[in-house]
Amino acid sequence: MRQLTYSFTLLLFWMCCVGHTAFAQHIVRGKVVDATSKQPLAGVTVSELSADNRTVAATTTDIEGNYALAVTTALNRLNFSFISYNAQVVRINSRNQINMELSTSDSQIEEVVITGVGGTQPNTGLLNISARDLTTATATINASVLQEMQSSSIDEALQGRLPGVDIAANSGDPGSGMSIRIRGTSSLSGSAEPLIVVDGMPYETEVPGDFNFGAADEDAYAQLLNVAPADIETISVLKDAAATAMWGSRGSNGVLLITTKRGTMSKPRIGYSFRGAMSTVPSAIPLLSGDQYSSLIPEMYMNRTGLPLNTLASKEFQYDPGDVYYYNNYSQNTDWIKAINQTGLSNDHTFSIQGGGEKARYYSSVAYLGQRGVTVGSGLNRISARLNLDYDISERIKFRTDIAYTHTVTDRNYVNSKDDQDNIRGAAYVKMPNMSLYEYDPYGNLMPVYFSPDRNIQGAYPGTYNPAAMADYAYNKHMGERITPTFNLRYELIKGILFSDFSVMFDMNNTRVNNFLPQLATGRPYTETVVNRAGESDRDDFRIQTKSNLIYTPNLGDKMKHDLQMLFSWQTDDFRGLSYESMISNTASILLTDPSNPGRTQNNELSLRGGEGQSRSIGAVFSTQYKFLDRYIVNVGVRGDGNSKFGANYRYGYFPSISTRWRVSGERFMENLPFIDELSFRASYGHSGKAPRNDYLFYSNIISYDQTYLGEAGTVPANMAYRNLKFERVKGANVGLNLEMWKRRFRLDMEFYRNRTTDMLFDNLGVPNTSGFESIWLNYGVMDNQGWELNLNATPYRTKDLMVDFAFNIARNLNVVREVPEFFVNEAGTGTNNGDYKRYLRINNPIGSFYGYRYEGVYSTLDETIAKDVNGQSIYGPDGEPVYMRFNYPYTDYVFQPGDAKYADINHDGSIDERDIVYLGNSNPKFTGGFGPSITIKNSLRINLFFNFRLGYEAINDALMHTTKMTNYDNQSTAVLRRWRKEGDVTDIPRALMGMGYNWLGSDRYVEDASFLRFRSATVSYTFNRGSLIDRIGMSNLRLYVTGENFYTWTRYLGQDPEVNMEKGIFGLARDNSRTPPTMRFTFGLSTSF
pLDDT digits (tens, 9 = 90+) for 643-695: 988 888 889 999 999 999 999 988 888 888 989 988 999 999 988 888 887 77
Average pLDDT in the 1051-1078 region?
83
Helix (H) / strand (E) element for 21: namely helix 2-24
Nearest to 1036 by CA among 266, 385, 363: 266
- Cα–Cα distances (Å) from 77 to 28, 33, 54, 61, 860, in that order, read 11, 19, 10, 17, 93
Q: Which of 138-152, 612-626, 826-840 has the highest mean pLDDT?
A: 612-626
Burial 924-954 (b: 16+ CB within 10 A, else e): bbebbbbbbbbbbeeeeebebbbbbbbbebb
Distances (CA, A) of 179 to 322, 760, 982, 1078, 1090: 55, 21, 46, 14, 38
The mean per-residue pLDDT over the stretch 239-253 comes to 73
pLDDT-derived band at 190, boundaries 50, 70, 90 = low
* Paired sense of beta strands 360-372 and 344-356, if any: antiparallel
Confidence of residue 113 (pLDDT cuts 50, 70, 90): very low
Alpha carbon 494 to its chain centroid, in Å, reads 43
Q: CA-CA distance, 34 to 64, in Å (whole number)? A: 12
For the segment 985-1013, what is each residue's pLDDT rounded down to a tens digit? 999 999 999 989 999 999 999 999 999 99
Q: Return the number of other C-beta atoms located less than 10 Å from residue 526's C-beta.
A: 11
Return the HEC string of 36-83.
CCCCECCCCEEEEECCCCCEEEEEECCCCCEEEEEECCCCCEEEEECC
Q: Over 90: is that where the pLDDT of 112 sits?
A: no
Mean pLDDT along residues 22-30: 66
Q: Judge contact between 152 and 176, C-beta under 8 A.
A: no
Q: Tell me the pLDDT band of 36, cut-offs 50, 70 and 90.
A: confident
* Three-state SS annotation for 204-266: CCCCCCCCCCCCCCHHHHCHHHHCCHHHEEEEEEECCHHHHHHHHHHHCCCEEEEEECCCCCE
Provide the 10 A C-beta neighbour count for residue 542. 15
Q: Position 523: which residue type?
A: G
Q: Look at 54-63, 545-554, 749-758, 958-967 and tell me which has the smallest mean pLDDT.
A: 54-63
Given this model, what pLDDT does residue 213 score? Answer: 31
Per-residue pLDDT, 507: 92
3-state secondary structure of 407: strand
Higher pLDDT, 567 or 135: 567
Q: DSSP string covering 311-367, please?
A: TTT-GGGT--TTSHHHHHHTS----HHHHHB--EEEEEEEEEEEEE-SSEEEEEEEE
- State the DSSP H helix or E strand holding residue 812, giving kind and residue range, or none if neither: strand 802-819
Using CB atoms within 10 Å of the CB of residue 530, give its burial: 0 to 12 exposed, 13 to 18 middle, 19+ buried: buried
* Torsion from C-alpha of 923, 424, 346, 225, nearest 10 degrees: -50
E strands present in 847-981: 849-852, 855-858, 886-887, 894-895, 901-903, 911-912, 918-922, 927-937, 941-951, 954-956
On the question of pLDDT at 582 being above 60, the answer is yes
Range from 199-203, 205-209, 294-298, 518-522 carrying the lowest mean pLDDT:
205-209
1052-1084 burial by CB neighbour count: b if 16+ within 10 A, else e?
ebebbbbbbbbeeebbbbbbbbbbbbbbbbebe
CA distance 216 to 1033: 49
CA 627 → CA 561, 569, 636, 680, 1012, distances in Å? Answer: 8, 21, 12, 14, 44
The topology (CATH level 3) of 20-102 is Immunoglobulin-like (2.60.40)
**DSSP three-state, residue 553:** coil
400: pLDDT confidence band, cut at 50, 70 and 90?
Answer: very high
The pLDDT of residue 335: 94
User: Average pLDDT of 228-255?
Assistant: 74
Question: So what's the pLDDT on residue 154?
Answer: 59
Q: Does a cis peptide bond (omega within 30 degrees of 0) precede residue 462?
A: yes
Could you read off the pLDDT of 340-398 as tens digits, one per residue?
A: 999 999 999 999 999 888 788 999 999 999 999 899 999 999 999 999 999 999 888 99
Largest CA distance in the chain: 125
pLDDT classification of 124: cutoffs 50, 70, 90 = very low
Residue pLDDT, tens place only, 829-873: 888 899 999 888 888 888 888 899 999 999 999 999 999 999 889
pLDDT given for residue 698 in this prediction: 83
Contact 574, 547 (CB under 8 A): no
Per-domain boundaries in the chain: 20-102, 849-922+965-998
pLDDT tops 70 at residue 877: yes
Most confident segment among 204-208, 255-259, 635-639: 635-639
Q: What pLDDT, on a 0 to 100 scale, did the predictor assign at position 168?
A: 65
Are the C-beta atoms of residues 348 and 1087 closer than 8 Å to each other? no
- Rg of the chain taking only CA atoms, in angstroms: 34
Highest mean pLDDT among 292-296, 598-602, 702-706: 292-296
Which is it for the CA torsion 15, 16, 17, 22, positive or negative? positive
Q: Report strand pairing: 195-198 vs 255-260.
A: parallel
CB neighbour class for 592 (10 Å; exposed up to 12, middle 13-18, buried from 19): middle
Decide: helix, strand or coil at residue 300: helix
- 191 contact partners, CB below 8 Å, separation of at least 6: 206, 207, 218, 253, 693
**How many separate helices (H) and strands (E) can be counted in the chain?**
12, 55
In the chain, the percentage of residues whose pLDDT exceeds 70 is 87
Mean pLDDT, residues 736-741? 91
- Model pLDDT for residues 1018-1034, shown as the tens digit of each residue: 999 988 876 656 667 77
Q: In the predicted model, is pLDDT for residue 1077 greater than 60? A: yes
Nearest of 439, 567, 433, 574 to residue 500 by alpha carbon: 567
Beta-bridged to residue 1037, according to DSSP, are: 1089
Question: What pLDDT sits at residue 602?
Answer: 65
∠ CA 761-788-821 to the nearest 5 degrees? 20
Please state, rounded to an integer, the average pLDDT across all residues of the chain: 83
Whether the bond between 453 and the residue before it is cis, its omega within 30 degrees of 0, is no
pLDDT reading at 747 higher than 60:
yes
Helix (H) / strand (E) element for 758: namely strand 746-758
- pLDDT (average), residues 878-903: 92
Residue 451, classified by CB atoms within 10 Å of its CB into exposed (0-12), middle (13-18) or buried (19+), is buried
Q: Which residue has the higher pLDDT, 106 or 275?
A: 275
Tell me which amino acid residue 476 is: N
Assess contact for 384 and 298: CB atoms under 8 A: no
pLDDT computed for residue 16 by the predictor: 40
Q: What is the pLDDT of residue 195?
A: 79
Q: Bridge partners of 1018?
A: 945, 1044
